[in-house]
Amino acid sequence: MSFRVLGVSAHFHDSAAALVQDGQIRAAAQEERFSRRKGDARWPAAAIASCLAHLPAGERPDRVAYYEDPGHKIRRILDTARGLAPSGALQWPRMMHSLHTLAEDLPGQLTALAGAAERVVLVPHHRSHAASAFYPSPCETAAVLVLDGVGEAASTTLWHGSRDTGLTALAETRFPHSLGLFYSAFTQYCGFKVNSGEYKLMGLAPFGTPSWAGRILDQLIDLREDGSFALDMRYFDFDRRQSGTSPLFEAFFGQPQRHPDEPITPFHMNVAASVQAVLEAAVVRLGRTALARTGARALCLAGGVALNCLANRRLRLDLPELETLWIQPAAGDAGGALGAALEVSEAAARAEGRVAPAGDRMQHALLGPGFSAAAIRAALQAAGLVFVEQTDPAAYADQVAAALAEGQVVGHFDGRMEFGPRALGNRSILADPRGQETLQRVNRSIKFREDWRPFAPIVLAARAAEIFEPPVDSPYMLLVADLRPEFRGATDLGAARAQGLSTPMELQGAIGSAFDAVTHVDFSARLQTIDPGDGRRAGAILQAFEARTGCPMLLNTSFNVRGEPIVCRPKDAIDCFLNTGLDLLAIGPFLVHRAAQGEWVESRVGRARFAAD
């Protein structure tokens, strides 16, 4: 008899749903992709519906698993407020709203979904994260680290994962001491949005030098050799009000918090580099301790901090005893929905004496909805677009590769949508990675984002080691790799600074490489490797591009514009095509060339660009 579990995460950020059947992941999706509201925290009705569409009509899952224990979370919120009172009063209205949602709204939502209260299972937040990291991994046994902001009370946890016995908790650090909230405080201070701008802070770090790292370690965080840590809470305010930093934080640095519209200066670059260096040191020490305590040679990661690609690289480089590093692609709270479902499914299987074999069960993270050719055709016709159909896969890949080789920028929409924050080829914007012009054009007229931010490369797995230094095995775009010296330009960051260049755009423009559009100022790249043999069309396009140009790499960025989620449905992709400077929309079996459309398309792009500015 099949056993089906629906996992749900909701009401804080990145709401999502996931369906697991007999240990196999059937579907997973974030609510933001359907609502078009980035980081949507609301009850994930559309994501749930997309997952339940994989069940026979009218059938319910056997269990509904929620990704944390709301009772424990309520107690932590109340205990924190009581311990700090009367400070923190500005948080009380927001706190009361959260408490009402957890105590009044959530139980009814879960029971209605499950059909009966006894079919609802509450899985603690960090256990959900740990399950999302270990159970889909290829590891028989592993150390598991969960690093995030905060769940019910824990912020950092260490586990031992075994196929035979499941997950055993070994250690934890509790709120308010949190690496995730520590990093988010610096994100806020440097003028980026918390819970979405942390990757910008990570991207800014290579522009600077870690000149503040020593002082941060001396005064802001007590980081011990085993990776345990404590924050000096005089500098942080996330436990008292809706701010990561206290006035003392600004006094420590001698400058006020940067406003998002203000210029980024060398000071901000150095602050970013410093907090990144401290975070990497903490993660490496925690990783070393995790391996030592479990005796494992494999490490699995989840939690929002696990999306920090620079820290992940440090684990691979600094821990020679580490043989396997596996990171949940949806490492943030969205992945908690999947982890909750997996935890319940795996526990049921072990109770029956069944153990699932090890192997990467994430299916390239292509777990979201897909759309038929008929549905895509209808959407194209409704938009009034001129398109051609190409049903020969080889010819299709070659035609897209030809457009890319001519310098065109392509919106690629194929198969099932990715689960997690990375576009891995199925909802991607693709371009030739060679040349600063590509970087500037995609940033300015397609993504409408900051000029200094580089893009990621998608590389043929068999060729990656020829171009990048190890580690290069990165199928989920969760590691950074350095470009080999022979592909680097003559000017490095030190030389650029010596020339008096100081802004991110000046530095980015001065430092060239053979692959300008996808390498950063330190000649690094957030790498995704792909094997054309796995049947994904993005791999076939890349292979055809290599055949035409000799370049085994493409620029790959998420199919969306700044401030919007990655596209989900055909209409989303069409709207993005119409409102940006994309040259070609490759969607399902259809090709939509901008040059074949009427003037109304160009005028619409102009209006969109004006609005973005």
Q: pLDDT band at residue 243, thresholds of 50, 70 and 90?
A: confident
66-97 per-position pLDDT tens digit: 999 888 787 777 766 666 656 655 565 665 66
- Where do the domains of the chain lie? 4-136+332-360, 179-326, 369-604
284 Cβ partners below 8 Å, 6+ apart?
A: 227, 311, 314, 315, 318, 319
349-367 per-position pLDDT tens digit: 999 988 777 788 999 999 9
Question: Of residues 499 and 291, which shows the higher confidence score?
Answer: 291
Which stretches of 371-514 are DSSP H helices?
373-382, 393-405, 436-441, 464-467, 493-498, 504-510
Phi, psi at residue 424, to the nearest 5°?
Answer: -115, 25
- C-beta of residue 206 within 8 angstroms of C-beta of residue 273: yes
**Cα 328 to Cα 107: distance, rounded to the nearest angstrom:** 28
Residue-level pLDDT at 613: 35
Residue-level pLDDT at 91: 61
**Cα 232 to Cα 215: distance, rounded to the nearest angstrom:** 13
Residue-level pLDDT at 78: 73
Half-sphere exposure of 249 (CA within 13 A, CB side): 25
**Cα 461 to Cα 484: distance, rounded to the nearest angstrom:** 16
Residue-level pLDDT at 103: 79
CATH homologous superfamily of 179-326: ATPase, nucleotide binding domain (3.30.420.40)
501-549 per-position pLDDT tens digit: 888 888 988 888 999 999 999 999 999 999 999 999 999 999 999 999 9
Phi, psi at residue 481, to the nearest 5°?
Answer: -130, 150
Instruction: Examine the pLDDT at 391 and tell me if it is beyond 80.
Output: yes
602-612 per-position pLDDT tens digit: 666 554 443 44
Residue-level pLDDT at 70: 84
**Cα 252 to Cα 141: distance, rounded to the nearest angstrom:** 44
Average pLDDT over residues 460-479: 96
Predicted structure pTM score: 0.94
DSSP string for 81-134? HHHHTTTTGGGHHHHHHHHHIIIIIHHHHHHHHHSSGGGEEE--HHHHHHHHHH
12-58 per-position pLDDT tens digit: 889 999 999 999 999 999 999 999 999 999 999 999 999 999 999 88
Tokens 């370690």 correspond to 217
Residue-level pLDDT at 605: 55
Nearest partner of 414 among 388, 387, 376, judged by Cα:
376
Do the domains spanning 179-326 and 369-604 agree at the CATH topology level? no
168-202 per-position pLDDT tens digit: 999 999 999 999 999 999 999 999 999 889 999 99
269-326 per-position pLDDT tens digit: 999 999 999 999 999 999 999 999 999 999 999 999 999 999 999 999 999 999 999 9
Average pLDDT over residues 451-462: 92
| CB-based burial label for 491 (10 Å; 0-12, 13-18, 19+) | middle
Is domain 4-136+332-360 classified as CATH 3.30.540.10? no
Could you tell me which residues are beta bridge partners of residue 459?
529, 553
Tokens 């051609």 correspond to 388
How many residues can be counted in the chain? 613
| CATH assignment, 369-604 | 3.90.870.20
Structure tokens at 18: 């996931």
Residue-level pLDDT at 339: 98
Average pLDDT over residues 590-610: 74
**Cα 31 to Cα 98: distance, rounded to the nearest angstrom:** 19
**Cα 40 to Cα 232: distance, rounded to the nearest angstrom:** 32
Half-sphere exposure of 343 (CA within 13 A, CB side): 29
